[in-house]
Amino acid sequence: MVSYKDLGLSSTREMFKKAMAGKYAVPAYNFNNMEQIQAIMIACVETQSPVIIQVSSGARKYANQILLRYMAQGAVEMMKDIAKEKGLKEIPICLHLDHGDTFELAKSCIDHGFSSVMIDGSHHSFEDNIALTKKVVEYAHQFDVTVEGELGVLAGIEDDVVAAESTYTHPAEVIEFVKKTGVDSLAISIGTSHGANKFKPEQCTKNAEGVYVPPALKFDILEEIEKKIPGFPIVLHGASSVPAEAVKMINANGGALKDTIGIPEEQLRKASKSAVCKVNIDSDGRLWMTAAIRKHFADKPGDFDPRQYLGPARLALIAMYKHKNENVLGSAGKV
């Protein structure tokens, strides 16, 4: 058993309390490799933003759970080094399991030093979702680990999470769910979705520049949920904006992405000023990383040293994370 406190990690409790008071959302960025974690640390220290680094079940299979734990521990030390070098404050870092779907997976992450876990029972019945979430909460709270639950289903594909259609969260259910599970935060479904193809073109309108504009998030549902459980931390999954510049760069350099439509950033900024205090962003990082690598090989096809193409990818990620912290989530300068 490894405590997250021994790794220098932080809990989400204080993070969320400050975020709700300050009307911003803490960024939750997924990572799978060294360049991603480096970019997250550099961007968040330099913008002085708290951060949640997320590991999906797919990432654990890809990178190995032991290695990921040491990467997180190394991220804390890297953060301290950057802060000292630049004369900045150290930032709080939470290590979070994204979309855990079994008690065994959540327990394993808690035992390996995660400071927060998500148990996603949204694919179960309401009663079974409560039972599973409560079981995880009871185990996690013994070690001061926070738990995120989910009500409602997000459409799309991300690693092992697959759903054909969204099911909006029913505000009438949230009080019972929160009370019976003891969960610390709640992921809801109000129109976001997983992956880069969040909406079909026929669901959208086109603006004057010919860019698809998706339907607005269901802020009425969010407001109703806030009334039911005032002051309770709310989470948005599937909140990548799918930047047109990254998609254009990918397709201009051999890619074939079609109908990639994300969540407008102004809607995410609006949500971040509400009870939404954690916003998950994964696909945007994948897109910018792929865009930078494709462009590098198109410009310099003779390169074969991974540092030659992963270096530009890391720079693209740093720029994106800084933009999200400063202009979308409002978390910059909040440590």
Pairing status of strand 93-100 against strand 51-56? parallel
| CB-based contacts of 54, cutoff 8 Å, min separation 6 | 28, 29, 30, 31, 96, 97, 98, 280, 282
Phi, psi angles (nearest 5°) of residue 130: -60, -45
What are the φ and ψ backbone dihedral angles of 48, each rounded to 5 degrees? Answer: 55, 55
Residue 97 structure tokens: 């399991």
Spatial neighbors of 283 by CB under 8 A, at least 6 apart, are 158, 194, 195, 196, 240, 242, 262
> For the purposes of burial, counting CB atoms within 10 Å of the CB of 210, is it exposed (0-12), middle (13-18) or buried (19 or more)?
exposed
**What span, in angstroms and rounded, lies between the C-alpha atoms of 118 and 102?**
10
220 classed as catalytic: no
Classify residue 274 as exposed, middle or buried by CB count within 10 Å of its CB (0-12, 13-18, 19+). Answer: middle
What token pair was written down for 79? Answer: 């953060």
Cα distances (Å, whole numbers) of residue 6 to 52, 73, 158? 17, 9, 31
Four-CA torsion 39, 42, 43, 47, nearest 10 degrees:
170
Select which of 98, 101, 120, 282 is catalytic: 98
**If we measure between CA atoms, which residue out of 230, 157, 150, 162 comes closest to residue 190?**
150
Q: How far is CA 230 from CA 14, 86, 207, in A?
A: 17, 39, 36
What residues are labeled active site?
A: 98
